[in-house]
Every structure is written in structure tokens, then in C-alpha cells.
Amino acid sequence: MLKTEFKNNILTAYIDGEIDHDSAAKIRTKVDGAAQMFKPRELYLDFSGVTFMDSSGVGLVMGRYRQMKLIGGALRVINIPDRLYRIFAMSGLESLGVLR
């Protein structure tokens, strides 16, 4: 479901499977714990393995965006499948400049 890697002051969270209310809470806990431990300059959320996402995925990204701002870091959402990109764009996340 989630694998993290810390390298060159970048924490990458590789998310796999579906993101719904229950899985988003588990992902949030793991990512936040790793971010608190490593204090990365950047947090990358890699969505290449995500097969489904509801609005909980948008909330997950917004919360990590706010958390990274609090510790002086930045968030990037990378490898977004085309079918999910529209959800991010419609949610307003595109205007934050976090989507890659």
C-alpha cells in the first residue's frame, strides 16, 4: 500500500492501490510520521500505482501540502495517471503548483 524512501533530502511516498477514506487515514499516518522523522526539504507523493481515488485523495494531498509548508518544505505530486489528473485539476490543486 505504501513504501517510503528518503534520499537527498527528499522523502518519496510510493502509493499503491486505492485511496478511499480508510486507506487515506493509514497513508496519512505513515507519511506524516516519516516527514516528522526526516524533516525533508521536499515530499514527493508518487501516484503511479494508484488505481482508484475519491475525494479522500484530494484531502490527503491538501493536508500534506499544509504540513510541508509548516516545516518549511515543499510538496510535489508525481506520476499521476491521466484518469486521476482531472480530479486534481478540478479540485484546484493544479493552481498550487504541486502537480507534476
pLDDT in tens, 3-21: 999 999 999 999 999 999 9
Of residues 37, 50, 36, the one with CA closest to residue 78: 50
The mean pLDDT value of the chain amounts to 94
Question: What pLDDT is recorded for position 67?
Answer: 93
Q: Give the chain's domains with CATH numbers.
A: 2-96 (3.30.750.24)
**Single-letter amino acid, residue 93:** L
Cα–Cα nearest to 58, from 11, 29, 98, 30: 98
Q: What pLDDT does 96 receive?
A: 80
Is 54 within 8 Å of 68 (Cβ atoms)? no
Residue 24 has pLDDT above 90, yes or no: yes
